[in-house]
Structure 1
Amino acid sequence: MRKVEQVGDFLRISFDYDERLRQLVRALPERQWDPIERCWKVPKDHVVSVVELLEPEGFSFDRATKDLYEERKRERAQDLTVSELNARVQAILTQAFPAPVWVVGEILGYDKNAHKDRVEFHLVERREGKIIAQVEAILFPEERILIEEKLARAGRPFSLTDEIVVRVLAQVDLWVREGVYRLVIRDLDVNYTLGEVARRREEILRKLSKEGILDRNRSLPFPALPLRVGLITSLGSDAQNDVLKTLRDSGFAFQITIHGARVQGHHTEPSILNALDWFRVHVEEFDVILICRGGGARADLAWFDSEALARAVALFPIPVIVGIGHEEDYSVLDWVGWRPKPATPSGAAKFLVQKVQETLEKLETSLADILHAAQVRLDTEEKALGERERRLVQGTKGKIVLEKQGLGHREKRLVRGAQAHLRLAREKVRLALRAIPQGASRLLGGKRTWLSEAEKRLLRGSFRELGQAKEEIGVKARRVGELARRKLVQEVERLSSREGRLRALDPKRVVERGFAILRLPSGKAVTDPIQAPEGTFLTAELRAGVLRLLSQGGERAGEK
């Protein structure tokens, strides 16, 4: 039963449970739920809003409520309060959208309010990455629980979070108190989000396949020793730690360069493209590239279903290994890059370790084959060498016998030849001994004549040089004598001048000019009156003799 009664200062609203009516009443200003009486209460000042909102829904009103409504309506025949305006707009929206509608949009602002009971967020529409329209939305606790249970039953393919596109069932509503138009979320279409992801992925794959670049990166020859690794992942993430631990535990000398990137949300595409561009510039320094992200909801991995990312990986000049999510997860990158088994971050790292291990095993097998072939060849050569040694020994022995015979014949010929040479040499020596005295006499006679002539030439030259030396000595002696005489005259004149000056300074010369020299009894000359105080005996030296004086004291120059 739907009815409204006036009780004191409040209007008491009662009805059997109906979620739509409950949301409608919640839009009334200052409404309150009374859990004891199990009814809604609204101050009677809002009677106009209550009647005009609930009368179309089949509510009955008691006489007091009707009278109050008529009274207030006459008072406000032309004017509307804000709450009345919002209530009328809310009623119009309810009439236009009597039932919930399905709306498609991208969630925005959910994460920052996810901890609240009532989560307020926006549904937005984007075009080329820019928001072109948005509407406010609210998710109440009851509906949130229902949606979370629905996702859990579906295997939790994704979670409610920012930047995923969803299809929701929502009631169009106006929050009367705030005058805000919004959507009240009732339900979620799980299959839509998953289907949209799959549709977009298939469209990208068809396009790349048509252009002939879908398998280009996977057709590149994989390096035998992929030790120089470029890793693109979120810095500090579990994916990074798993890759590093797996590669380090392998014991192989991997060289790892990490480029941080966003792996969820709208920034995933530009962030990973930026990392790929950096590695492309330094491609000569790397063997392979790893793109890794840990597990998560399938919708979270949809950010890797990007045509730009797929093209960049497909056309990258060295192999790109993709380890994103769990083994059962797929993205476009799994089809254009190298997908390991399992296709996880640690699986991608194990794939590299396996490739290096395979190369090492091939090298060890090849080395073993080479060593075996070398041993067989050595054994064969050793046998052949033994046979050649045996033949060589036999041949050498025969050769030695022949050489001994030949040496005997040569020895005999050599002895005979030596004896003949000795006889010839003795004859030559005998003839030479006869010729030596005659030759020596002739040679000595010639030498005596040459020595006599040389002696004569030496004497003549010596006399000539001695005469020249005597003449030079005479000239130099005359020059030295003249210089000595001039120097002696100069020194005599200088000594005479000094003697005159010294005589002029002699004290006796002073006395001869009429002056006297006073001396103390000690013989020291008096130069200061203080030396001869009163009563001092003095001696005065004169030109004609000496005076003995007694001092009566004296005064210094300038004293009175």
Structure 2
Amino acid sequence: MEDTTPQDDAVQHAGGAAGEPAEPGPVTASETSPERPWPLHRLSENLKLHIERAPATWIEGQLIEFKNNRGNVYMTMRDLDQEVSLPLAAWRNVAAGIDPTVQQGSRVVARVKPNFWLKAGRLSMNVLEMKPVGLGDLLARVELLRRSLAEEGLTSPARKRPLPVLPGVIGLITGRDSDAMKDVLRNTHLRWPAAVFEVREVAVQGTDAPRQVAAALAELDADPTVEVIVIARGGGALEEVVLPFSDEALVRAVAAAGTPVVSAIGHEADRPVLDDVADLRASTPTDAAKRIVPDAAQEALGLAHARERMAAAVERRVRGEAEALAALRSRPVLAHPHVMVDARAEDLGRWRERARVSLGHRLARESDAVAALRARVRALSPQQTLDRGYAVVQHAGRVVRRADEVSPGSHLDILVAAGRLEADVTDTHTPTDPEDA
């Protein structure tokens, strides 16, 4: 043996544990060799001393074997969740105090202490006490788990997901060839004949049921085509229906599933914890079939009624519009539309005549005003002045207004009514009296 396990440290000091002198040879396990081995009894004695130092321990499991041999009881206990078994022995003095209801298949708790039998080198567990786990104890554990999950929010209605209206593939986890499976398949196909199922047949009672159901759930949840998963089991004894489906590992797996889960366990009165964490609780497997798919006959009837209502609504609308159109057509303006046109034509003729007369009068008045203005403008025109015999005298491009503005010899340009004259100044006369000018 190599000096690598915790047992070796205990074995190193086991030689003198009983107060006897150590035998010749290696004192510790690490000192042994092919040339200096321990006797077999030495190892067995050291193992016995080491193992029997372990304290007594309470364990829980299910008895899969229970044999009474002349007062001594030999049993095999299996773990409730894993494939692990352990042999137990209750000697006569302890076996006499075990509850008479304890038998093969019972769920029990036991206080055990390990024992190593030297002669055969066999490890066994001696039972010091054993008690059956009653239904009341199990149900109390279920309620405790239910409260714990509620505190975590795993049973809250807010986290429950709605089921698809018409799932493409339905996952079904149920017992092998069970009535629950037949009920779900039959009633679902009666309601929706095209429904497609992916069935997983597993154990639905016993200690292995939670593990098998959880494994099937994980497999279906990983399938992207499965849109809803139904876990179904028929009725039975309370401990067969409630306990397996109140397993903590199973209900947590359901809560963590990405696919909506429907719980259809037992009957209406049965209430495993699975019902609380599932997205939908069905009272029975038959009820689950009614919840996961619509009724094709009812849907067809509903479509027929909807079609009738739509047809009636269209007819009412067409009838109403026809009546409104008839009412419009019966009005005088539509019955004899030319009357309105004739009246408006007469009005238009009168307005045109009034406009023509009014425009003629206005044009005449404005023509007279223009003629008067023209006469006034002409009277003020320089040409009129020239026509009366006046002339405009210019010198060097400037109009001459006074005689002293020019001098004899200056060249003048004279504008008359018709034409121009040129002249030279021979003499100028400037009046001394402004009135003479």
Place the TM-score, normalised by the shorter chain, in its bin.
0.3 to 0.5
Which one has the largest radius of gyration?
1
